């Protein structure tokens, strides 16, 4: 057995022992939403406009127990969804999860991500969360996925960051030293839990576990995934973009953009902001992770394959002609106080609420036509757009 096959077998064995994620199975659709798994919201985030087509194909690459797959089905009612995973036991949970919540329109394949070419057709949205960093060859993995991405398609990826997982890596190595057989994952969990219970309370590894991870790690499945995994590659900005560049796809941006705002770290110093103005995007990202390593536990981002539009709504005429609709990822509607796509609180004025009310389900009326009835200024419309409370469809026709 080659090293790559041995690693893949070890990973499959871990997830057969501890199917992951260990979220409970429900007899109803899952609660809330993750906008990254909603095609309309994700496409709008990446392009600035609603997609023309919602009858798409979605691939959940490395679906595990189907937590993300279930959301992908329920959040995209016109889509066909495919899930694949290396672990037969995890796939069994995924199938039962989707059966119980009536998440039909999904097919599952027991395959390595490397073998995604065995799944017919291309996909408009590929979701690959927490998978590439567990492959023996992530570049081969991302290239295999890229070949399945349709023109105009999006890929959402989540991989681990090196700087924010420093303590995790130390504990992983400590557990491995104390284990007799590192393939005995339950034993690794026992060793790790005993270490955390024994080390001094002020120990840095204990503090980090307590402050950041302990709630989720109450479940052995999560503890095992974090501390006794047989294969993990962590990234920095430099190595991350080596992976991205190898995909041949376009980098469309991080899907947690607030983390990557330099102003939150050095905005109080005009001289430092000035010094940073000539940095490239990648240099700026590197500076942010160096200055705030605790926030760099992972990278989540979108890639895309051309052709993809990039809509500029700074033109008043284009904005007035656009057709607005309410975002599908809003919690609390139709209250004046609600959560937007990223669960940030939005307090609507009465005029904004009336505007959004007229946008809800709108397919024909333009911004200009709605503003005839609602006394809202264009700057306020743009504010709703920036908060992704509304989504826009470009309209080249004359609104009159």
Output the pTM of the full model. Answer: 0.96
Residues 140 and 281 in one domain: yes
pLDDT tens, residue by residue, 324-381 = 999 999 999 999 999 999 999 999 999 999 999 999 999 999 999 999 999 999 999 9
Axis-axis angle for helices 281-291, 237-247 (nearest 10) = 140
Q: Which residues contact 316 (CB under 8 A, 6 or more apart)?
A: 378
| Alpha carbons 144 and 116: distance in angstroms, whole number | 7
110 located within any domain:
yes
pLDDT (mean) for 314-320? 95
pLDDT tens, residue by residue, 151-202 = 999 999 999 999 999 999 999 999 999 998 899 999 999 999 999 999 999 9
Last residue of a domain, one of 176, 209, 227: 227
Q: Residue 103 pLDDT more than 90? A: yes
Domain count, the chain: 3
| Alpha carbons 299 and 287: distance in angstroms, whole number | 15
Residues 154 and 187 in one domain: no
Structure tokens at 381: 């419309």
Residues 290 and 372 in one domain: no
Residues 96 and 211 in one domain: no
Last residue of a domain, one of 304, 324, 339: 304
pLDDT confidence band for 399 (50 / 70 / 90):
very low
Residue 366 and residue 355 in contact, taking contact as beta carbons nearer than 8 Å: no
Classify residue 134 by its DSSP letter: G
pLDDT tens, residue by residue, 18-39 = 999 999 999 999 999 999 999 9
For 219, the domain range is 163-227
Scored b (16 or more CB within 10 A) or e, 139-177 reads eebbbbbbebbeebbbbbbbbbbbbbbbbbeebbebbee
Residues 116 and 21 in one domain: yes
Residues 7 and 67 in one domain: yes
Residues 68 and 195 in one domain: no
Residues 205 and 256 in one domain: no
pLDDT tens, residue by residue, 66-95 = 999 999 999 999 999 999 999 999 999 999
Q: Residue 305 pLDDT more than 50? A: yes
400 located within any domain:
no
């Amino acid at each position: 057995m080659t090293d790559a096959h041995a690693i893949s077998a070890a990973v499959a064995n871990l997830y057969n022992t501890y199917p992951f994620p260990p979220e409970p199975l429900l007899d109803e659709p899952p609660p809330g939403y993750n906008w990254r798994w909603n095609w309309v919201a994700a496409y709008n985030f990446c392009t600035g406009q609603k997609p023309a087509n919602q009858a798409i194909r979605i691939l959940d690459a490395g679906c595990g127990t189907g937590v993300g797959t279930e959301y992908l089905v329920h959040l995209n009612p016109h889509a066909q969804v495919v899930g694949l995973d290396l672990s037969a036991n995890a796939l069994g949970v995924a199938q039962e999860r989707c059966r119980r919540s009536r998440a039909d329109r999904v097919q599952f394949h027991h395959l390595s991500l490397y073998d995604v070419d065995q799944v017919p057709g291309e996909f408009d949205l590929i979701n690959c969360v927490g998978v590439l960093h567990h492959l023996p060859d992530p570049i081969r993995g991302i290239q295999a996925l890229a070949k399945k991405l349709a023109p105009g398609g999006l890929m959402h990826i989540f991989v681990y960051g090196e700087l924010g997982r420093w303590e995790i890596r130390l504990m992983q190595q400590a557990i491995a030293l104390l284990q007799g057989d590192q393939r005995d994952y339950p034993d690794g969990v026992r060793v790790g839990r005993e270490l955390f219970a024994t080390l001094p309370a002020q120990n840095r590894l204990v503090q980090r576990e307590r402050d950041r991870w302990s709630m989720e790690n109450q479940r052995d499945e999560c503890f095992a995934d974090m501390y006794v995994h047989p294969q993990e590659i962590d990234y920095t900005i430099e190595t991350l973009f080596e992976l991205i560049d190898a995909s041949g796809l376009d980098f469309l941006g991080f899907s947690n953009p607030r983390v990557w705002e330099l102003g939150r770290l050095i905005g109080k110093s005009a001289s430092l902001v000035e010094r940073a103005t000539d940095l490239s995007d990648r240099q700026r990202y590197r500076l942010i992770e160096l200055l705030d390593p605790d926030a760099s536990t992972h990278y989540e981002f979108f890639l895309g394959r051309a052709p993809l539009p990039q809509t500029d709504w700074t033109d008043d005429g284009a904005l007035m002609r656009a057709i607005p609709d309410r975002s599908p990822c809003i919690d609390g509607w139709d209250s004046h106080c609600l959560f937007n796509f990223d669960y940030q609180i939005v307090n609507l004025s009465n005029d904004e609420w009336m505007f959004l009310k007229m946008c809800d389900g709108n397919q024909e009326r333009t911004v200009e036509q709605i503003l005839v009835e609602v006394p809202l200024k264009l700057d306020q419309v743009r504010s709703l757009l920036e908060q992704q409370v509304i989504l826009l469809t470009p309209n080249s026709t004359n609104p009159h």
